[in-house]
Structure 1
Amino acid sequence: MADEDKTEDPTAKRLEDSRKKGQIARSRELSTVLVLIFSAITLYLMAASLGKMMLTVMRHFFDLSYDEAWDYTHMLTSLDWVMEIISVPMLTFLIVVSVAGIYGSVAMGGFNFTWYTASFRAENLSPINGLKRMFGMNGLVELLKAIAKFGIVAVVTYFMLAFYMEEALHLDQELFPGSLFHAMELIGWTFIIICCALIPIAAVDIPYQSYTHNEQMKMSKQEVKDERKNAEGDPQVKGRIRRLQYQASARRMMQEVPQADVVVTNPTHYSVALKYDQAGNRAPYVVAKGADELAMHIRKIAEGNDVPLLASPALTRAIYYTTEIDEEIPEKLFQAVAQVLAYIYQLKQFKTGRGHRPKPLAKDLPIPPELRH
């Protein structure tokens, strides 16, 4: 898809996937500047000890006896001695530079280790892709940065040489080893200032790399939709699953309707089937409920299995909206449901010839206002 179509900010998943592939914002200029500056500062702080070490080594090798000069094993012995002397300052320098390099690499995009960038991919061998990288916008920016760095280093070096020219020319008039330490100080300050001159390059490169990475990660509207669809599932598939789940739940409900003690109705829009197990410890509970077509289906099953139907719109709506399947009715509806069950029980007794016809059920059952719907 064309780049101009990619107008949407990258999603968290897109950024995470790109991170797994090693595609994160990095600034090589930041890493380079940190390594150079810390190297320069470390060398400057260690200048005195390094100077003394160099002086000791020079005196050792220039002050040889006749026997040492003709002893071919003396060089190996001296090498061990030199390594022992320079090991501590050199290790210190290497550790500082390594820490600066690692921090410069992870400061912008964080630590990220992946084998994806090291794996073989055919597109990396494509000459066309290589030419695109060389002559594309990124290649042009890298060329401009290289020219800028060369120009800055050249100009700063010129001014530093001009500034220290007088002192450098008079180093030969100073006493040794003071002249050596003075020369190292001049070199150290020159190195530090030249390295610090590269800070503006890194300061510009950091936001540029962040902006470039964000532009590369941008997505089209279709890509965002596809990602959301893959993450959440196809809406059509999810809708079909919901329908199947609803149908399965409805079938289970229909199997429980014949076991109900009564079905209260709206009577046209809602139906709720209730059951009360007198031998159990449960309050009356809902075994099935439905609206519209499902309500009609519940009533048909109830009629086919001699389950009493009772029209009580207010009570039906109250139970329908407050109680789920297999849940006990709210305590505030106990009195109203008790009147319904008592009426149904008396009606059954009357039909079997073991009781009198019950009085008609009160139309205004005791339903609290907050449960009326």
Structure 2
Amino acid sequence: MAEDQDPAQKTEEPTQKRVEDSRRKGQVATSREVNHWFMILGATLLVTMLAPGMFGRIKATLVEFIASPHDVTLDPGTVHAITVDLIGDLGSIMAVPAAILMALAVFGGLIQNGPIFAPELIKPKLEKISLLKGVKRLFSGRSLMEFTKGVLKLAIVATVATMVVV
């Protein structure tokens, strides 16, 4: 009877040692949806609380180019300096929201499983490199579903943000 069972079908709960070994290797059950939920909630709160001030700073940064574009000299040195200044200014404006969203994504993982340090997960393994498998994974049904979910989440956040700002 026991020989007829599929080895993938486990009939017993894993031992505590096996659970600890799996955790040490970083093999724990996590839901990406929890991380996404925290990030969407954070993005919504950021848009409602920080958007007016952020948009004011962005407007102040860009008003010179919009109000009097003919006054901007477009020689290579000036364009480079303007670009560096704009990237610096806009980067500093977006740094706080980006840091908050990253912290929320980390918090979503921590709340599910606690802190896990598993250097084995980031160790490169040459036997895992396969161009064919990578292409199959890239264009699989699961990837299409994840892409669709991502687009829907983005649409929801954009809709909420538009409703709040406008």
Counterpart residue type for residue 39 of structure 1: A
Between structures 1 and 2, the one with greater helix share: 2
TM-score, scaled to structure 1: 0.33
Structure of greater relative contact order (alpha carbons < 8 Å, 6+ residues apart): 2
| CA distance in structure 1 between the aligned counterparts of 2:8 and 2:14, rounded to whole angstroms | 13
Corresponding residue to 1:46 among 50, 66, 69: 50
Residue-by-residue CA offset, 1:187-245 (whole Å, 9 max, x unaligned): 1649xxxxxxxxxxxxxxxxxxxxxxxxxxxxxxxxxxxxxxxxxxxxxxxxxxxxxxx
Distance 1:64 1:31, change over 3 A: same
| CA distance in structure 2 between the aligned counterparts of 1:80 and 1:155, rounded to whole angstroms | 31
Listed as ranges, the matches of 1:1-373 within 5 Å are 2-4=7-9, 6-64=10-68, 68-69=72-73, 72-83=76-87, 85-119=89-123, 120=125, 122=127, 124=128, 142=142, 146=146, 149=149, 187=162, 189=164
Q: Is the 8 A contact 1:43 1:93 kept in 2?
A: no
Aligned-residue Cα RMSD (Å) equals 4.2
Between structures 1 and 2, the one with greater strand share: 1
| CA distance in structure 2 between the aligned counterparts of 1:68 and 1:39, rounded to whole angstroms | 35
Structure 1: state its 5+ residue gaps. 161-184, 191-373
Counterpart residue type for residue 118 of structure 2: T
Match of residue 286 from structure 1: none
Distance 1:187 1:66, change over 3 A: closer
State the shift of 1:15 in Å.
Answer: 0.8
Structure of larger gyration radius: 1
Structure 2: state its 5+ residue gaps. 1-5
The secondary structure found in structure 2 opposite 1:116 is helix
The secondary structure found in structure 2 opposite 1:97 is helix
Distance 1:154 1:78, change over 3 A: closer
State the shift of 1:43 in Å.
Answer: 2.8
Stretches (4+) displaced over 6 A: 154-157
The secondary structure found in structure 2 opposite 1:108 is helix
State the shift of 1:86 in Å.
Answer: 3.0
